[in-house]
Amino acid sequence: MPTTKPKTTPTITVAREAGACYGVNRALDLVEKAASEATGPVRTLGPLIHNPAVVSELETRGVTVASSPDEFSGGTLVLRTHGVTPIEEERARAAAERVIDATCPFVIRAHRAAEKLDSEGYQVIVLGEAGHPEVMGTVGHAPEAIVVEGAADLDGVELRGKVGVVVQTTQSRARLRELVSELIGRAGEVRVVDTICEATSERQASASALASEVDVMVVIGGRNSANTCRLAEICSGRCGRVHHIEGAAELEASWFDGAQAIGVTAGASTPQRQIDVVCSRVAELSGGMLEVPGTSSAEGK
């Protein structure tokens, strides 16, 4: 009589380093405290973090998003995690009654580094994504800074004798090394302030390791979150079935057909509670069992 092989229960594993980093947890604590204490309106200048689900959740608690200090007067204003330019901050302080600075301390370190290099006469180069709010904030502290996304962007750029480099916190060290080796030999003096935040690289390494061991990988985080998109990209290079979602409602049972090992990771703007909700739904849809509880121990740098 033919025997049927018993179906094994799929495992669901959360990447060792996944989800909200130190800067995001700090910003969420600050805004939640502001919302519970304030008697007037509470706004954030730009989205607090790149996570639409969290931003809408905050809206239900009365915390709205203002895109410019011209849009309001009075109330409490929270400066976003990615930081703002000094001009924006000055205008925000003039418009709001109370300002709470939720800029991540690692972003502030990049601001200070750019400002110091600029004041010491260095030609400041910011390695980062042009137009990203964090990079715009850093450039605001060294207005003549040049933004490059990699060594290739230096083609045709006239360098002065002293060049100072600061880095968007989410960039990779490989890209920084490439840029610095291009600068050496082209500038008389090269000073590098490594402002990369470890939270991003730790999440990338954990996601990459997990993705190479599973059949399906679920990546949670805003589609407007650069670090989450990068996680999904890295996972796609290691695993053939990768799904980037913003919330549990997007999950589909068919994604887990035949899967014996399912991996879950999340960008640095995804709170632990969103990871927990997604894991429970993945378990329901796949019949799987959560093997490692999600942890988020990274403290940034």
Taking the complex as a whole, how short is the minimal distance between the CB of residue 297 and ligand SF4, in angstroms?
13
Gap between the Cα atoms of 9 and 124, Å rounded: 55
Taking the complex as a whole, how short is the minimal distance between the CB of residue 116 and ligand SF4, in angstroms?
18
What is the binding site for ligand SF4 (CB under 6 A)? 21-24, 81, 104, 106-107, 169, 197, 199-200, 268, 300
Gap between the Cα atoms of 143 and 119, Å rounded: 11
Please indicate whether residue 144 is annotated as part of the active site. Answer: no
Gap between the Cα atoms of 40 and 77, Å rounded: 11
Nearer to ligand SF4 by C-beta: 13 or 81? 81
- 185 φ, ψ to 5°? 100, -25
Residues 211-250 as b or e (16 or more Cβ within 10 Å = b): beebbbbbbbbbeebbbbbbbbebbeebbebbbbbbbbee
The sheet that has 189-193: what strands, in order across it? 146-148, 123-127, 162-167, 189-193
Nearer to ligand SF4 by C-beta: 23 or 137? 23
Nearer to ligand SF4 by C-beta: 102 or 278? 102
If you count them, how many residues does the chain have? Answer: 301
User: Which residue bears the tokens 């999950």?
Assistant: 251
User: Which residue bears the tokens 């991003």?
Assistant: 200
Taking the complex as a whole, how short is the minimal distance between the CB of residue 281 and ligand SF4, in angstroms?
26
Q: Which residue is nearest to ligand SF4 (CB)?
A: 23
Helix axes 86-95, 133-140, angle to 10 degrees: 90
Choose, from 134, 182, 202, 246, the residue flagged as catalytic: 134
Nearer to ligand SF4 by C-beta: 22 or 122? 22
Taking the complex as a whole, how short is the minimal distance between the CB of residue 97 and ligand SF4, in angstroms?
26
Nearer to ligand SF4 by C-beta: 110 or 262? 110
Taking the complex as a whole, how short is the minimal distance between the CB of residue 132 and ligand SF4, in angstroms?
11
Residues taking part in catalysis = 134
